[in-house]
């Protein structure tokens, strides 16, 4: 039985000691610096209000991060609910005999052979960045967490409060939109 | 029985996307393989999807720099927090 020193909270030092860390943590998950700043601030405020719940078993930072995680999930839930519906571009017939087959105008076009071979091109990077920025936020966040941060599927699900099948639907739609965007702006030109 | 292995283009591309992360199951890959064998459009999609993956891994990199707040932002934040400490 080891006697662990109990941790304490020192709100006067929170900003100095933790704000950069929390900000950096947040920005990879919300992809917007103003918003990340607000979320960090809200985290500190919630922390102040919840000080009596701190039992000193975890470090101050771990405790603040657990509050921050709730905030990120709340934010993601907000953008993942109501408003996103209209942004989804349909690629397949939704009912009738042809249900699940390609809509004529969404069928993948032939890509330029040379362009296909030349993917190192710097301008292609600009086109890709542009296409990613055009994704709805909820798709962009998941896509970047998966493709850039290389988080495990389960980790993303935990961090954003979604199920694995949600995640794959989001990735599916994001990649459809990206493929089409790169086709229009680069490969089929 | 047969329907179990025959999927539509929507389902096939969904598996194809999952497979880009090597997370499709054996059964899913089998269904995808059968579909791609008979569907030219999805064969095309699948090929382009691999190119998309390649483009992303070439051009998207984790930014190693830490994102930081400016001193001014920290100052404002500090003021707000201290205001609420009783």
Higher-pLDDT residue of A115 and A82 is: A115
pLDDT per position as a tens digit, B29-66:
999 999 999 999 999 999 999 999 999 999 988 777 77
pLDDT per position as a tens digit, B1-27:
456 789 999 999 999 999 999 999 999
pLDDT per position as a tens digit, A29-63:
888 889 999 999 999 999 999 999 999 889 999 99
Question: Does residue B77 lie within any of the structural domains?
Answer: no
Question: Does residue B10 lie within any of the structural domains?
Answer: yes
Question: Does residue B84 lie within any of the structural domains?
Answer: no
Question: Does residue B71 lie within any of the structural domains?
Answer: no
- Cβ contacts of B20 on chain A, cutoff 8 Å: 175
The domains of chain A, with CATH numbers, are 11-80 (1.10.1740.10), 83-187 (1.10.10.10)
pLDDT at B63: 72
Task: Report the share of chain A in percent with pLDDT over 90.
Answer: 70
Question: Does residue B82 lie within any of the structural domains?
Answer: no
- Position A118 confidence tier, pLDDT thresholds 50, 70, 90: confident
Question: Does residue B66 lie within any of the structural domains?
Answer: no
Average pLDDT, chain A: 90
Whole-angstrom distance, CA of residue A164 vs CA of residue B83: 42
Count of other CB atoms within 10 angstroms of residue A112: 14
Whole-angstrom distance, CA of residue B23 vs CA of residue B58: 21
Whole-angstrom distance, CA of residue A127 vs CA of residue B58: 13
Question: Does residue B74 lie within any of the structural domains?
Answer: no
pLDDT at A16: 95
- Cβ contacts of A44 on chain B, cutoff 8 Å: 77, 80-81
**What's the whole-number mean pLDDT along residues A80-106?**
81
**Mind telling me how many Å the CA of A185 is from chain B's nearest CA?**
13
Residue A55, both tokens: 């039992």
Q: How many domains is chain B partitioned into structurally?
A: 1
Question: Does residue B47 lie within any of the structural domains?
Answer: yes
pLDDT per position as a tens digit, A147-162:
998 999 999 999 999 9
Note whether A124 contacts B: Cβ–Cβ < 8 A.
yes
**Contact of A188 with B58, CB cutoff 8 Å:** no
Quick one: which H or E segment has residue A134?
helix A122-134
A137-147 and A60-80 helices, crossing angle to 10°:
130
Does A187 sit within 8 Å of B8, measured CB to CB?
A: no
* Range of the structural domain that residue B20 is part of: 1-59
Does A108 sit within 8 Å of B8, measured CB to CB?
A: no
Task: Measure the CA dihedral A122/A141/A27/B23, to 10°.
Answer: -90
- Position A79 confidence tier, pLDDT thresholds 50, 70, 90: confident
């Amino acid at each position: 039985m080891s006697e662990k020193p109990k941790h304490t909270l020192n709100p006067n030092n929170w900003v100095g000691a933790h704000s950069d860390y929390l900000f950096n943590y947040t920005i990879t998950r919300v992809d917007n610096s103003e918003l990340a700043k607000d979320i960090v601030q809200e985290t500190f405020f919630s922390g102040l209000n919840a000080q009596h719940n701190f039992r000193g078993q975890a470090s101050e930072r771990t405790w603040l991060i657990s509050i921050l995680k709730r905030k990120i999930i709340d934010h993601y839930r907000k953008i993942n609910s109501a408003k996103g519906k209209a942004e989804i571009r349909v690629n397949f017939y939704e009912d009738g005999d042809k249900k699940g087959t390609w809509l004529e105008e969404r069928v993948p076009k032939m890509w330029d052979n040379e362009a296909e071979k030349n993917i190192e091109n710097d301008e292609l990077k600009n086109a890709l960045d542009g296409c990613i920025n055009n994704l709805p936020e909820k798709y962009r966040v998941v896509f970047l967490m998966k493709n850039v941060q290389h988080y495990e599927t389960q980790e993303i699900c935990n961090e954003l409060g979604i199920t694995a099948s949600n995640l794959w639907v989001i990735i599916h739609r994001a990649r459809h939109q990206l493929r089409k965007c790169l086709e229009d702006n680069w490969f089929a030109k | 029985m047969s329907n179990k292995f025959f999927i539509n283009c929507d389902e096939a591309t969904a598996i194809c996307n999952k497979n880009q992360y090597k997370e499709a199951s054996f059964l899913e890959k089998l269904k995808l393989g059968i579909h791609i064998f008979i569907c030219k459009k999805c064969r095309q999609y699948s090929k382009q999807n691999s190119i998309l993956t390649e483009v992303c891994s070439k051009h998207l990199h984790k930014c190693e720099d830490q994102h930081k707040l400016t001193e001014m932002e920290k100052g404002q934040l500090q003021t707000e927090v201290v205001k609420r400490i009783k």
